[in-house]
Structure 1
């Protein structure tokens, strides 16, 4: 029963008020069959803001679940109408009253849930993980947390793992999301907490002092929830739709798009990047914005390339002679009209020009964001080697226009049995894969920071207020020197806009 009804029932209110409230709620209920939904022309979805589900970035709304829902609505020929809830408690309440057709809450099928809702897995698996502040002792099991309090969000996947174990306490925090829990673990306010593994992966870079201790249970697929009051026609159609996406590879491609660039983050690498965001990036941010605008690209992407190349150091020099903030070769600089590679402005201008030229060479038929990922790989290893990898991909019966397929074949360019079959021969093909992964992650962080500044960003700035360390030179942007020092750079961050 809703909080509104509980309050009314506990007070000597006039019965007509209760009746009016019930009638008002009833009037807001949604069509309950697929045909009625099509007749109305609207698919009503309720969700919450989370990088794993739904969020609004610079280029519009995106998120794994949102992208699925948008495609499903298009399949049905109806409008997708999204209501954003404060938390899972509100989502479950709305579904229980049949005020939405689908709930996207980042929940898996757990004991008792299917008694209240219809549950449909959506292809992403996650598990509950215990996290801790690295200044505290790492626990190996729940048994080692005796006397401690575990903190978690309400109506989560986590509580059913805790109900049969004693010796410790747990506390749910209404009004706080997973990022809020992680921020408090980062600061030490919450020494121990439980979050979903996918939300930890997506937020890890912002909270470098948070570490994973151990998992509770096995990975479980996250699901969409449907009201029990509906008949089965909508969930049946959704299930058939997801099966089709799984069969044609779309589900795997979406999973790669949102999760493929996420790796376990190195503590030093994450702190170093955030330190440089606060101390180096402000010197060059206007230049990145100006020259990115001139080239028609997102300035955060250009800045991410610059960080991967040199850690935003205008005097960087590699052993093979590429130099400057964007690590341009002499030939590349000459070709695009750059005279002084060590001048930060000229270097950024040259990097923007060169990337746009590379991007323009990628076939127009390749949709975003894959086209940008191919352009990044070409920027690193050269267009010819990228084309060789795409031919190998096609020869193996996979899609040469899809990054998740081609990135499997790029490393083969370093093996004689494969590169001898290609036009351009040997290349250190694992390097563009790491290069793209890193830049995607860097971009992801920059996009989230610049799109929506939050108090959490201030917390991070305090945490990373550390002495600047000496860092290695960045890698180059073309095949003559790419990867000479790639291994020295933190390979655990990287990113690109999911909406590109």
Structure 2
């Protein structure tokens, strides 16, 4: 079992204030009326969240729910849960288990406040648990992006205020468009199915040549080598002799000025290129150290592609709209909304989403990991 705590979300509301805010949100839900709450309220997970200022969620790792990315998690389901914890202003403790049965048992025994599963309704009801669809009925958002439409949140009690608050949060996310944008970013179809055989062939042939350099360099900068390899594949298909029409060259496709700044003398030297690319990516990460992972990775990749100046300009525009400029869904939504009229934005959307897809492929393909 693996677990991770989301930093920066553990302060602020005291128990009474959190209790009132959750109840207010729950009252907006017509699904579970409060008159159903009975004398056993003390057994509800709501009380545990309030008293411990911590939301414990368990999930099975799968393409629609969560990927383990180094010391962090990412994925449609994980980000939705993370946003819910932030909405409650509590710390998130997120755990992964091997199967749905284990996840459901943890909810039934009170070891988790709720579970994210793809278990069917009959199985959940047999365990005397209750589930909410992770879409508020908007199955199209998941289906069109190749995500599992059976993804659900499972709670111990239907009339628990925590369940009611979750229902309200999910439906609000649907209404304000953030759920659809989250699904769009985690699109499983961002790389067409017919291309994966060629991608797998490329990686199988070239990864063994450069894996040692990726791993050594990643360790030096405390990065995930799989991510460096995914950047390299997006940049050059892992070909150190690659050259673009604009003069960008090498395995990590560095400009001449960036290469010099990173101490790279020969951009066609694969080892030097990987070293320079990692150093530059690490520099981009440091620019966004006030943004928690995994979002920090996506911002750094956007900056690697567009330049940090462009990223900063977009953040200012998002802030001027009254939105959080350090929230990746807001940033991605801005790029996605304007990509038709701005080629640089369109390229950035493609760049970040494809690297995410390659990262997930490399991490979950045994023959690549074990090369």
Into which bin does the TM-score normalised by the smaller protein fall? Answer: 0.5 to 0.7
Query: What's 1:201 paired with?
Result: 146
Query: What's 2:130 paired with?
Result: 118
CA distance in 2, matches of 1:222, 1:442: 23
Contact 2:131/2:154 (<8 A) preserved: yes
CA RMSD across the alignment: 4.5
CA distance in 1, matches of 2:327, 2:205: 37
CA distance in 2, matches of 1:76, 1:394: 21
Contact 1:119/1:224 (<8 A) preserved: yes
Equivalent pairs, count: 320
CA distance in 2, matches of 1:433, 1:62: 17
1:238 aligns with 2:134: no
TM-fit CA distance, 1:254 = 7.6
1:318 aligns with 2:244: yes
Structure with more helix by fraction: 2
CA distance in 2, matches of 1:127, 1:248: 13
Q: From the superposition, tell whether residues 431 and 85 of structure 1 become closer, same or farther in structure 2 (CA, over 3 Å).
A: closer
Q: From the superposition, tell whether residues 346 and 250 of structure 1 become closer, same or farther in structure 2 (CA, over 3 Å).
A: farther
TM-fit CA distance, 1:300 = 1.1
After TM superposition, list the pairs within 5 Å mapping 1:280-295 onto structure 2.
Answer: 280-295=206-221
Contact 2:118/2:150 (<8 A) preserved: no
CA distance in 1, matches of 2:291, 2:91: 27
TM-fit CA distance, 1:383 = 1.5
Q: From the superposition, tell whether residues 34 and 57 of structure 1 become closer, same or farther in structure 2 (CA, over 3 Å).
A: farther
Query: What's 1:349 paired with?
Result: 275
TM-fit CA distance, 1:393 = 2.1
Match of 1:435 among 342, 347, 351: 351
TM-fit CA distance, 1:246 = 5.5
Query: What's 2:261 paired with?
Result: 335
CA distance in 2, matches of 1:258, 1:123: 10
1:301 aligns with 2:227: yes
Match of 1:447 among 352, 355, 363: 363
TM-fit CA distance, 1:448 = 2.1
Query: What's 1:262 paired with?
Result: 187
CA distance in 2, matches of 1:124, 1:360: 37
TM-fit CA distance, 1:358 = 2.0
Q: From the superposition, tell whether residues 444 and 252 of structure 1 become closer, same or farther in structure 2 (CA, over 3 Å).
A: farther
After TM superposition, list the pairs within 5 Å mapping 1:47-446 onto structure 2.
Answer: 48-53=60-65, 58-59=70-71, 84=97, 86=99, 99=109, 102=114, 104-107=116-119, 117-123=129-135, 201=146, 222-226=151-155, 232-234=158-160, 236-244=161-169, 247=172, 260-264=185-189, 265-362=191-288, 364-410=289-335, 412=338, 415=341, 428-446=344-362
Structure with more strand by fraction: 1
* Structure 2 spans left out of the alignment, 5+ residues: 1-38
Contact 1:358/1:375 (<8 A) preserved: yes
* Structure 1 spans left out of the alignment, 5+ residues: 1-31, 129-195, 203-218, 416-425, 462-500
Q: From the superposition, tell whether residues 291 and 267 of structure 1 become closer, same or farther in structure 2 (CA, over 3 Å).
A: same
Comparing 55-64 with 388-397, greater Cα deviation is found at: 55-64
TM-fit CA distance, 1:324 = 0.8
Contact 2:185/2:332 (<8 A) preserved: no
Query: What's 1:167 paired with?
Result: none
CA distance in 2, matches of 1:246, 1:127: 12
CA distance in 1, matches of 2:86, 2:332: 31
